[in-house]
Amino acid sequence: MKSSVYIVLTFILSVFVFFAVPVVVSAAEGGGKGYFKALPQIAENPENPVTKDKVELGMLLYLDPRLSKSGFISCNSCHNLSTGGVDNLPTSIGHGWHIGPRNAPTVFNAAVLKTQFWDGRAKDVEEQAKGPILNPGEMAATEELVLKRLRSIPEYRKAFKKVFPGEKKPLSYDNVANAIGAFERTLLTPSRFDKYLLGEEDALTSREKRGLNTFISKGCVGCHNGVGIGGASLQRFDYGTDQGRFEVTKNEADRKVFRVPTLRNVELTYPYFHDGSVWSLKEAVMIMGEKQLGLKLKKKEVADITAFLKALSGQMPEMTIPQLPLSTRHTPRPDVSIEAGK
């Protein structure tokens, strides 16, 4: 891998460093700050330590369309790092122009969420990453094909050896997911709201603070809380035809139950909801009031809440676009065929 491949993680040397540990203030103090936590610098996972080399490798894999059968679709196709980590489509398009059933949630800050997917069926970003590569309607590859492609490229062989030292088979499917997971653990976007949580009262405008208070007093915070401002629980949302978590567990109690999404960067991640049926953030807020709280929010309340939600748009991590290592004559060629199933 070229040494020119690097990511400048943005948290260096600022005062921030001293407040890296999420700050929790009691709810009574400081305008409801106790319901939320500021983002950490990195979403650590003791089982998959984040190292600089692993993050660099993970970034290459994230951007590499050769992880798909067609050689055309990468993680970035549906979770475009330049468009808020989403594809801005109602539901995603995968292999053979297969139109999937659900909206792509953002990869930014996904690593801090307690579970992954709209139905919470994966426990963390490492487990999650193994899914889409093999999903026939997404990247449509097989483990075998992915490993064959990567093993045919000397730079990848070298990089995996370096990143996973002492392992018998460093270039494994698990380690593909571990490297991508480590990269995602750096995709955090601290916002003005984090500054506010860390004590900078002026970081929010008075309108945004009013929106925050409404968000709390109306009860949005009951589900959208913690470090992800969402992502910590599964809740019923009676909307559309998708049966949510029921599809995974077949348990009646899970019918139409969905993982509460993060509201960080929600301004960027339209259209909204698991089916991407709503394009306007204000409309999404109104629907939430009605469906989740039984409230008809006033126009001004919706506008204030929306102003607060826009203050959750964070600072994107700085990255240098890497050059992917070239295919060799041993690299299995792109296969764009779309026969049924695969």
Tell me whether residue 37 or residue 185 sits nearer to ligand HEC (CB atom): 185
The verdict on 116 binding ligand HEC (CB under 6 A) reads: yes
Q: Which of 56, 138, 208, 301 is catalytic?
A: 138
According to DSSP, the β-strands at 234-236 and 257-259 are antiparallel
Q: d(Cα 204, Cα 193) in Å, to the nearest integer?
A: 7
Closest distance of CB 292 from ligand HEC, Å: 4
d(CA 163, CA 179): 8
Contact 158, 1 (CB under 8 A): yes
Using CB under 6 A, which of 50, 55, 75, 319 touches ligand HEC? 75
Active site (annotated) includes residue 138: yes
Place of tokens 């964070």: 314
CA 47 – CA 35 distance, rounded (Å): 28
For residue 118, state whether it binds ligand HEC (rule: CB under 6 A).
Answer: yes
Of 201 and 290, CB closest to ligand HEC: 290
Q: Is position 94 an interface residue for ligand HEC (rule: CB under 6 A)?
A: yes
Residue 191 CB, nearest distance to ligand HEC (Å)? Answer: 15
Q: H or E stretch including 235?
A: strand 234-236
Extended beta strands in 39-128, E state = 93-94, 98-99
Q: What are φ and ψ of residue 32, in 5° steps? A: 75, 15
Q: Phi-psi bin for 184: left (phi > 0), alpha (psi -120 to 50), beta?
A: alpha
Taking the least distance from each CB to ligand HEC, the nearer of 23 and 96 is: 96
Minimum separation from the CB atom of position 71 to ligand HEC (A) = 13
Please identify which residue in 104, 140, 141, 319 interacts with ligand HEC, judged by CB under 6 A.
104
Task: Tell me the two tokens of residue 184.
Answer: 């995602």
Q: Does 113 bind ligand HEC (CB under 6 A)?
A: yes
- Which residues in 131-190 contact ligand HEC (CB under 6 A)? 132-133, 138-139, 180
| Contacting residue, 5, 223, 307, 311, with ligand HEC by CB under 6 A | 223
From the CB of 277, what's the least distance to ligand HEC, in Å? 8
Query: What Rg value do the Cα atoms of the chain yield, rounded?
Result: 21
Choices 5-13, 24-32, 130-138, 166-174 (CB under 6 A): range interacting with ligand HEC: 130-138
Give the residue from 194, 228, 21, 221 showing the smallest Cα distance to 112. 228
CA distance 285 to 111: 24
Q: State how far the alpha carbon of 177 is from the alpha carbons of 55, 100, 174, 184, 284, in Å.
A: 11, 22, 5, 10, 33
Applying CB under 6 A, does 77 fall inside the site for ligand HEC? yes
Q: Among residues 159 and 284, whose Cβ is nearest to ligand HEC?
A: 284
Residue with tokens 């963390």: 124
Local structure of 304: helix, strand or coil: helix
Closest CB to ligand HEC among residues 14, 83: 83
Q: Residues 294 to 333: which contact ligand HEC by CB under 6 A?
A: 305
Does 237 sit near ligand HEC (CB under 6 A)? yes
How far, in Å, are 217, 291, 301, 302 from residue 295 at the CA level?
12, 8, 11, 11
Q: Which stretch binds ligand HEC (CB under 6 A): 8-16, 164-172, 219-227, 316-324?
A: 219-227
Task: Supply the residues annotated as catalytic.
Answer: 138
List contacts with ligand HEC (CB under 6 A): 73, 75, 77-79, 92, 94, 100, 102, 104-105, 107, 110, 113, 116-118, 125, 128-129, 132-133, 138-139, 180, 215, 218-220, 222-224, 235, 237, 258, 260-261, 263, 266, 269, 272-274, 284-285, 288-289, 292-293, 305
